[in-house]
């Protein structure tokens, strides 16, 4: 009996060590996966500095996620996420879609570049993601009888974003604006899960709305401040700038 207890104790200890080791090594594995798969999904440069994963609680923290701009745009990045925390229901990993309790992003930086003739860097990025994700779901030509792989889907109960800032590039000029906190609930819950590109599209639509509103307010305030300073024609200049800005953003 004593020998059996010793064996069980050793096995238990080994199990604990294994769990700790998995939690320790999953971070580098995820980091490498993002840095390898990310560019194939976005068609741009993607780098992740670090990741910490807890397999028992379903918690994860990502630090320093950089997503580059598509080719043909001025800046090198589309956005940068300083820190991302997520909580996943571990049991959902075995289901038809992954249930995410919360995604919390702190200190993101967005770069939004709009062209006069239409289109933006974010639009181009979303199109590339959609095309690449769609292409990845097709069956291999060498296996005509194989069924198409089911796309990975997520249901996100709470998405929160705070301390965000945006750099809006228009006509060669850059306007930096802070963004208010953003909360989105039940992303993909009613649909039984949505694909990553659909998640990105829904979130970025809300973020872009904030960018347009905040940047428009900055231009309006700048025109008003110049008018109060007694500069002739400042009001007209401010209104003209706002009009050009709205035209560039398609408002």
- pLDDT greater at residue 4 or residue 89: 89
Residue 162 — very low, low, confident or very high, per pLDDT cuts 50/70/90?
A: very high
- pLDDT greater at residue 72 or residue 248: 72
Write down the pLDDT at residue 189: 92
Q: What average pLDDT does the structure give for the chain?
A: 74
Per-residue b or e along 81-94, where b marks 16 or more CB atoms closer than 10 Å to that residue's CB: bbbbbbbbeeebee
pLDDT at 31 over 50: yes
Per-residue b or e along 130-146, where b marks 16 or more CB atoms closer than 10 Å to that residue's CB: eeebeeeeeeeeeeeee
* Helix (H) / strand (E) containing 81: strand 77-88
Q: What are phi and psi for residue 175, nearest 5 degrees?
A: -115, 120
* Model pTM score: 0.69
d(CA 238, CA 250): 18
Write down the pLDDT at residue 197: 74
In this prediction, what percent of the chain has a pLDDT beyond 90? 20
């Amino acid at each position: 009996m004593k020998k059996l207890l010793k064996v069980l104790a050793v096995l238990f200890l080994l199990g604990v060590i294994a769990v700790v080791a998995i939690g320790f090594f999953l971070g580098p594995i995820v980091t490498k996966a993002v840095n390898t798969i990310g560019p194939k999904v976005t068609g741009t440069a993607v780098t992740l500095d670090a990741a910490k994963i807890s397999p028992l609680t379903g918690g994860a923290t990502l630090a320093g996620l950089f997503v580059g701009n598509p080719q043909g745009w001025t800046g090198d990045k589309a956005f940068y996420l300083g820190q991302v925390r997520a909580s996943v229901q571990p049991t959902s990993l075995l289901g038809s879609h992954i249930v995410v309790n919360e995604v919390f992003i702190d200190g993101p930086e967005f770069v939004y570049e709009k062209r006069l003739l239409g289109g933006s860097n974010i639009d181009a990025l979303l199109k590339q993601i959609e095309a690449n994700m769609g292409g990845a779901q097709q069956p291999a030509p060498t296996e005509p009888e194989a069924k198409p792989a089911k796309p990975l889907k997520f249901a996100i109960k709470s998405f929160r974003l705070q301390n965000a800032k945006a750099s809006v590039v228009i006509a060669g000029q850059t306007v930096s604006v802070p963004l208010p906190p953003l909360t989105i609930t039940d992303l993909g819950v009613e649909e039984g899960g949505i694909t990553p590109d659909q998640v990105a599209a829904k979130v970025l639509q809300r973020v872009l709305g904030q960018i347009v509103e905040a940047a428009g307010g900055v231009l309006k305030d700048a025109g008003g401040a110049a008018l109060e300073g007694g500069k002739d024609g400042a009001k007209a200049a401010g209104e003209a700038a706002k009009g050009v800005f709205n035209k560039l953003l398609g408002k």
